[in-house]
Amino acid sequence: MSDKPKKGLDRRDLIMASLATVGAAAALAANAGSAAAQESTAPSAGATSGEPRGTVYTGEAIQGKKVVSALDVNDLEPGQKHLLYFQGVQMPTGQHWYVSVTVARGAKPGKRVVLVSGVHGDEMSSVHTVLTVMNQLDPAEMSGTVMAVTDVSRPAMEGMQRRWPNSGRGADLIDMNREWPGNENGFTAPSRHAGLLFNRLFRPNADAAIDFHTGTSGFEVSAFNIASMDVPEIRAMVELYPVGQVFDNHTYPGVLHNAFVDAGIPSFCPEVGAARVLDLEMIPLFVEGTMNVLKHYGILAGPMGRTGKDVDVFIGNSAFPVLATEGGFVEHLVKLNDKVEAGQKVAIQRNGFGEVVAEYTSAVAGEIAGQRSDVPSEPGDPLAFILFDKAGPEGGETYPE
Ligand SMILES: [Zn+2]
Q: pLDDT of 340-353, one tens digit each?
A: 999 999 999 999 99
Cα 272 to middle of ligand 1, angstroms: 10
Report pLDDT digits (tens) over 23-69. 333 333 333 333 333 333 333 434 444 455 799 999 999 999 999 99
Greatest CA separation for the chain: 67
pTM, entire model: 0.87
Cα 256 to middle of ligand 1, angstroms: 10
| Local structure of residue 85 (DSSP, 8 states) | E
Beta bridge partners of 49: none
Helix, strand, or coil (residue 395)? coil
Pure H helices in 249-375 = 256-262, 283-296
Phi, psi of 256 (to 5 degrees): -60, -45
With a cut of 60, say whether residue 322 has pLDDT above it.
yes
With a cut of 80, say whether residue 255 has pLDDT above it.
yes
Name residue 375's amino acid. Answer: V
Cα 302 to middle of ligand 1, angstroms: 31
Contacts of 274 (CB under 8 A, 6+ apart): 125, 214, 215, 220, 221, 373
Cα 77 to middle of ligand 1, angstroms: 33
Cα 119 to middle of ligand 1, angstroms: 6
Mean pLDDT along residues 356-382: 98
Cα 160 to middle of ligand 1, angstroms: 12
- Tell whether the torsion through CA atoms of 267, 272, 278 and 281 is positive or negative: negative
Pure H helices in 178-218 = 189-197
* Cis peptide bond N-terminal to 400, omega within 30: no
Strand extents, DSSP E, 3-116? 56-62, 65-70, 80-90, 96-105, 108-116
With a cut of 60, say whether residue 198 has pLDDT above it.
yes
